[in-house]
Amino acid sequence: MKIGLDVGGTKTDAVAVDDAGAIVGRVRLATGWGPEAVTATVIDAVRALTTHAGVDATSIRSIGIGIPGQVEPGTAKVVHAVNLGVEELDLAAAVEPTLGVPVRAENDVKAAAFGAYALHGGSGSMAYLNLGTGIAAGIVADGELWRGARGTAGEVGHISVDPNGPLCRCGQRGCIEALAGGGAIAERWDRPSVLPVQDVFDAADAGDLFAQELRIGLARGVAAAVRILVLTADVDSVVIGGGLTALGDRLMADVAAELAASAAASPFMLSLQLEQRVELLPAGSAAAALGAALIGAARDPEGVLSRG
Amino acid sequence: MKIGLDVGGTKTDAVAVDDAGAIVGRVRLATGWGPEAVTATVIDAVRALTTHAGVDATSIRSIGIGIPGQVEPGTAKVVHAVNLGVEELDLAAAVEPTLGVPVRAENDVKAAAFGAYALHGGSGSMAYLNLGTGIAAGIVADGELWRGARGTAGEVGHISVDPNGPLCRCGQRGCIEALAGGGAIAERWDRPSVLPVQDVFDAADAGDLFAQELRIGLARGVAAAVRILVLTADVDSVVIGGGLTALGDRLMADVAAELAASAAASPFMLSLQLEQRVELLPAGSAAAALGAALIGAARDPEGVLSRG
């Protein structure tokens, strides 16, 4: 049995995956803050799979952990997981003595990309576009994750697509993340809310002009990211995941309208058939935890999933 | 001996490459117009290498041809080579009976990418950004050309980076090619000239405001392409080639200034060290013909160089 964890800023999603690649158990629990609490969360999640999801502890062969930070390839060494209060943490050193199983970590977007690719059939090429507080993508082709040379592969969020666009927290103007990142939209909307982007959509429906501007910007940013991924890496499909996918069809309809508008203006864009190549991951998908499980079980300590 | 040809719109560059990968002979001749004349050019170029560059005809083992059109991977079947007056041509069927050596073709930008990668040391990852009439890129990592799923890998020229930018011939606004393509710049400059982009640079130096606008747009477009290639594929380096490289340091100084401006505004962009990762191919480089020779000699009829 392979265990996969998606350690998010608020919740940790854990799955057990059998030899055929099927998810046979799943639990979710709150994520702790700081290196010690994150370590405890990982241990608790694995134990919860055995106590609450019927996973035989002796059958566990590997643990893979997706985490929002930079991970040294082929290891479980995490740095700059700022949303978890973790500056530096070797998850293998922290949890292997207790759990007695090899542990490997991966950046959460890369893990989700790998999991989405497996869910998507596991062949051809795919980009996973994560729409959350920030925006980033992972590219998988022929079963391999494109890692890139210096850790910025898929960082499409900080590509500027409008020199007069909103200021991005990175310092540039008109970045895709400044237009379409959940964090940037919430900041510009600037009203107390649990689900600010959903509020923006509701307010836009009710006729609020600023909300409509923000909503159009979101769709433009996502459509730009899709075009960039297809025109640079020429992936077969772009699968969208992350927190903003809770908006479901409301989000997809806006993005499809943006893609249709550029296809109407440009025979070249029309020929790309982008609308047919974009999909939304179902809400509650276990893609990230599944991807972490697959990466955790990969035999080659570094090479299998690396490229670039 | 491997023969490589870069069949351009006006000239064909032909090289002979020995087993060690060194160029041991080179000739250039005018390219004919239409399928029969292009076929004759290929045959003439190979014969010229034997008669004028000391290449022993019996030592030739393979011929690779880079050509501005779409090529079916692993074959010599070319379609839509519009700049050559060729709608469809199987170069293997056309020249193998006469030359008696296996022939393979490749899109010219992809061939140049592969050749630039070999000249660059042949390791790590690299994007080749071709600045000519149009703009396109080729990505090479770990010795393999990234082909993509549907033939649009590296088509960064038609990514819009400014919704209010100039209209592109593709129908969109603010495409990188509309800003930085030699064809688009010549069309907007609209004055009779043999070297319109050089005229624009000269006029900009002399104080012409419209020329200055065009010149800034060129640098912005190229800088945007560099950022997109690094933030999507995370290549180690971006090597710039194509006709506009005749501008040499004048072009590079402008591009470096654009990259420096975004690095000054954004610590994230600064961390990418883009200025140090961009290089210009020397004028007169044989990269495209060399790449064609290497692709022509690849044993695997399809797989070796394909990915995505």
The per-residue pLDDT for range B87-121, each reduced to its tens digit, is 999 999 999 999 999 999 999 999 999 999 999 98
Q: How far is CA B184 from CA A49, B205, B206, B268, in A?
A: 60, 20, 21, 31
Task: Read off the pLDDT of residues B275-307 as tens digits, 9 standing for 90 and up.
Answer: 999 999 988 899 999 999 999 998 654 433 333
A chain contacts of residue B154, beta-carbon cutoff 8 Å? 232, 234
| The pairing of beta strand A278-280 with beta strand B2-7 | unpaired
- Report pLDDT for A300: 57
pLDDT range class, residue A303, cuts 50, 70, 90: very low
A132 to chain B, closest Cα gap in Å = 18
Tokens encoding B193:
């000239």
By DSSP bridging, strand B86-90 and strand B103-107 are unpaired
Distance CA A95, CA B69 (A): 55
pLDDT at B308 over 60: no
Q: Contacts of residue A235 in chain B, CB cutoff 8 Å?
A: 148-149, 308
Whether the predicted interface score ipTM is above 0.90? yes
State the nearest Cα–Cα gap between B169 and chain A, in angstroms.
9
Q: Other CB atoms closer than 10 Å to residue B229's CB: what's the count?
A: 25
A33-to-A41, A81, A82, A91, B246 alpha-carbon distances in Å: 9, 11, 10, 14, 56
pLDDT band at residue A35 under the 50/70/90 scheme: very high
In contact, B228 and B159? CB cutoff 8 Å = yes
SS3 state of residue B294: helix
- Quick check: B125 and A148 CB within 8 A? yes
Vertex A131 angle, CA A259 and A276, to 5°: 30
DSSP run (H or E) holding B90: strand B86-90
Read off the pLDDT of residues B148-181 as tens digits, 9 standing for 90 and up: 898 889 999 999 999 999 999 999 999 999 999 9
Q: What is the pLDDT of residue B73?
A: 84
> In angstroms, rounded to a whole number, what is the distance separating the alpha carbons of residues A226 and A203?
26
Listed in sequence order, the residues at least 6 apart from A192 whose beta carbon sits closer than 8 Å to its beta carbon are: none
CA distance B27 to chain A (A): 33
Confidence band of B43 (pLDDT split at 50, 70, 90): very high
Q: What is the per-residue pLDDT for B151?
A: 83
Q: Of how many residues is chain B composed?
A: 308
Radius of gyration of chain B (CA): 19
**Of the listed ranges A107-111, B25-29, B143-147, the one predicted with least confidence:** B143-147
Compute the distance between CA of residue B195 and CA of residue B178 in angstroms, rounded to an integer.
18
Pair type for strands B125-131 and B103-107 = unpaired
Local structure of B89: helix, strand or coil: strand
What part of B 68-127 touches A (C-beta under 8 Å)? 124-125
CA distances from A301 to A64, A103, A140, A304 (A): 12, 11, 18, 8
Residue B235 near residue B141 (C-beta atoms within 8 A): yes
pLDDT at A301 over 80: no
Contact criterion met (CB < 8 Å) for B149 and A265: no
Confidence grade of residue A304 (pLDDT, cut at 50, 70, 90)? very low
The model's pTM is: 0.93
Amino acid symbol at A107: N
**CB-CB contact of A162 with A273 (8 Å):** no
Q: CA-CA distance, A111 to A207, in Å (whole number)?
A: 39
Domains belonging to chain A, first-starting first, are: 2-112+285-297 (3.30.420.40), 123-280 (3.30.420.40)
Please tell me the distance from the alpha carbon of residue A42 to that of residue A30, in angstroms, as a whole number.
10
Contact indicator for A273, A114 with CB cutoff of 8 Å = no
CB pairs under 8 A between A and B: 156
B228-253 mean pLDDT: 96
Q: Strand A62-67 vs strand A2-7: parallel, antiparallel, or unpaired?
A: parallel
What span, in angstroms and rounded, lies between the C-alpha atoms of A242 and A251?
A: 12
Query: Residue B171 and residue A124: Cβ atoms within 8 Å?
Result: no
